[in-house]
Amino acid sequence: MASTAAVMERERLTAEMAFPPAVVAAGGGASCKPGAEPRSIVIKIRRRLPDFARSVNLKYVKLGLLSAGFPMPPSPSWVVMFALAAAAAYGLFDVAALYAVDLVGCAAWLCAAALLVAVWYARRPRPVYLVEFACYKPDGDEHEISKDGFLEMTESTGFFNGEAVAFQTKITRRSGLGDRTYLPPGIQARPPRLSMAEARAEAEAVMFGCLDKLFAATGVDPSRDVGILIVNCSLFNPTPSLASMVVNRYRMREDVKSFNLGGMGCSAGLIAVDLARDLLQANAGALAVVVSTENITLNWYFGNDRSMLLSNCIFRMGGAAALLSSRGGDARRAKYRLLHTVRTHKGAADGCFGSVYQREDERGRVGVSLARELMAVAGDALKTNITTLGPLVLPLAEQLKFLRSLVLRRVLRRGARRPYIPDFRRAFEHFCVHAGGRAVLEEVQRSLGLGDGDMEASKCALHRFGNTSSSSLWYELAYAEAKGRVRRGHRVWQIGFGSGFKCNSAVWRALRDVPPVSSGAGDGEEERRRVSCNPWVDSVESYPPKAYI
């Protein structure tokens, strides 16, 4: 999904289809004349997200309503409790024997109802809190690379022909990336050092860099306190796994529940959060650590296929780690509470499944290919996801407007009326859209009717750090925090796209005000540790750029 910034520009695609002249003249209804010279027509297709206002699938509206609990049929436990309470009330006020009250029977019924209420309370879903998160940023100028430096490096390798170099130059200039992104040393070396050792070194630098800051800021002892560990990285899956590398580094407990998610694309970070939530519900009192990253060293493409070159121009080095908890005591120190996760998977359709595909080119070089239809695929997945999410988060007034629009179109058959697209700015104060590329962000902004301020965090994260895959959402949330914009009660919407094809959402509510950060760290060791988790500490004052990328 990442590299769509350039591939999905707004030029038009053309496809030529040959028809006999008689067919062209008669609109396809005439018969073909023998020996007639075929003619062609040109079909123009615009590369952009679909207009969500043109079609709404009611199936996903119903799914969202069921997820929201309205109108959801009562659960068996509630039915039993209601029946018991009704029986107790009937025994207490029996119309046939108004003055013959069976106190013992009523007490028994009420005790049974109270017991069921207590059981339901004990088994209810526990709140899941985001205590703290940390994003990776190398120390100083280490691993830093500018756009000109990237293009010079690309040309000096000698692997690319003139057309491939020109194509990468064009994409890089339009990508929305700035001059302070990061690439691992194995890629920047002349010649490149592409080895398992270099890939492991990159993974260790990113993961341990995030985790060291996270554990220092939260005071968590990883060898004793962490009960759940989830690591997601799509393209680098060594043995032992990345999760095992973390366990080994921090000498974690032998009963730690570790998971390693691979091949799930740029939206895997939210999949990991969803998995952590379920595990925390099943393991009361546990702490979960989620590490989201991508590895570049062994996945740099050195061929000339344009569909595979895009990732070179957009992907950069990065990662994030988050500490999640379901312990009630952590609510006082946590930053956010997880409200909803909505996952959409379009992999059942072949076109969606193959839109982001790792394969070999004609010379056997491995790369990730992005299909021309990727923007349409992403738009369809996004439409499904937000249609399901809407009933969970939108104010009642917005849902009623949307319902009225559907009734006018579907029941009263007023087809000329455009469906009402809810204003999601009334549901969220902060938007974190996966920084897959400049064109992707612009199209999402247009489709959802968001303002420049709503997209500032996503665009600035792309400019400062590039596409860091699944961790980009955390760089964006860190930007909002660094600016001091997160206040208690604010709602945050994270939207991730990934191969498969997937679109996932997570909704958080801020539990407290998050103070801004600056290059001059605050007083006290605790404040310095908090600030160290935020990757914007040395650059937030220069964002957004005057030219606004």
Which H or E run contains 132? strand 129-135
Q: Tell which wins on pLDDT, 291 or 111.
A: 291
Which H or E run contains 173? helix 162-174
- Catalytic entry in 143, 340, 430, 490: 430
100 has pLDDT over 90: no
Is 430 annotated in the active site? yes
Q: How many CB atoms lie within 10 A of CB 333?
A: 14
Could you give the residue ranges of the DSSP H alpha helices within 251-297? 268-282
Phi, psi angle pair for 541, to nearest 5°: -70, -20
Q: What is the pLDDT of residues 460-487, one digit of tens each?
A: 999 999 999 999 999 999 999 999 999 9
* Confidence band for 129, pLDDT divided at 50, 70 and 90: very high
Give me the DSSP letters along 2-22.
TTHHHHT-SPEEEEEEEE-HH
- Catalytic entry in 232, 260, 304, 467: 467
- Catalytic entry in 143, 340, 463, 490: 463
> Among residues 304, 280, 211, which one has the least CA distance to residue 249?
211
Phi, psi angle pair for 16, to nearest 5°: -100, 135
Is 232 annotated in the active site? no
Q: Which two tokens stand for residue 348?
A: 């059942």
Q: What is the pLDDT of residues 301-332, one digit of tens each?
A: 999 999 999 999 999 999 999 999 999 899 99
Give me the DSSP letters along 492-530.
EEEEEEETTTEEEEEEEEESS------SSPPSSHHHHHH
96 has pLDDT over 80: no
Q: What is the pLDDT of residues 218-252, one digit of tens each?
A: 999 999 999 999 999 999 999 999 999 999 999 99
Which H or E run contains 324? strand 319-325
* Confidence band for 88, pLDDT divided at 50, 70 and 90: low
Could you give the residue ranges of the DSSP H alpha helices within 180-265? 185-188, 196-218, 242-250
> Among residues 424, 427, 442, 420, which one has the least CA distance to residue 509?
427
Please report, for residues 46, 130, 530, the alpha-carbon distance to residue 292 in angstroms, rounded to integers and kept in the order given. Answer: 34, 15, 19
- Catalytic entry in 106, 233, 266, 533: 266
Is 463 annotated in the active site? yes
pLDDT of residue 115: 76
What CA–CA distance (Å, rounded) separates 497 from 503?
A: 5
For 501-525, what is the mean pLDDT? 85
Contacts of residue 149, defined as CB under 8 A and 6 or more positions apart, other chains included, come to none
17 has pLDDT over 50: no
Could you give the residue ranges of the DSSP H alpha helices within 10-131? 21-26, 58-68, 76-92, 103-123
pLDDT of residue 238: 96
Is 467 annotated in the active site? yes
Contacts of residue 543, defined as CB under 8 A and 6 or more positions apart, other chains included, come to 460, 463, 464, 479, 536
What CA–CA distance (Å, rounded) separates 5 from 173?
A: 11
Q: Tell which wins on pLDDT, 427 or 53.
A: 427
Q: Which two tokens stand for residue 310?
A: 């895009």
pLDDT of residue 41: 43
State which fold the 129-393+428-542 domain adopts: Peroxisomal Thiolase; Chain A, domain 1 (3.40.47)
Contacts of residue 127, defined as CB under 8 A and 6 or more positions apart, other chains included, come to 326, 328, 331, 337, 338
Q: What is the pLDDT of residues 155-213, one digit of tens each?
A: 998 899 999 999 999 999 999 999 999 999 999 998 999 999 999 999 999 999 999 99
Lowest mean pLDDT among 40-44, 220-224, 365-369: 40-44
Q: Strands of 319-325's sheet, edge to edge? A: 257-261, 226-232, 287-293, 319-325, 129-135, 336-345, 502-510, 491-498, 430-433
* Neighbouring-strand partners of residue 358: 368
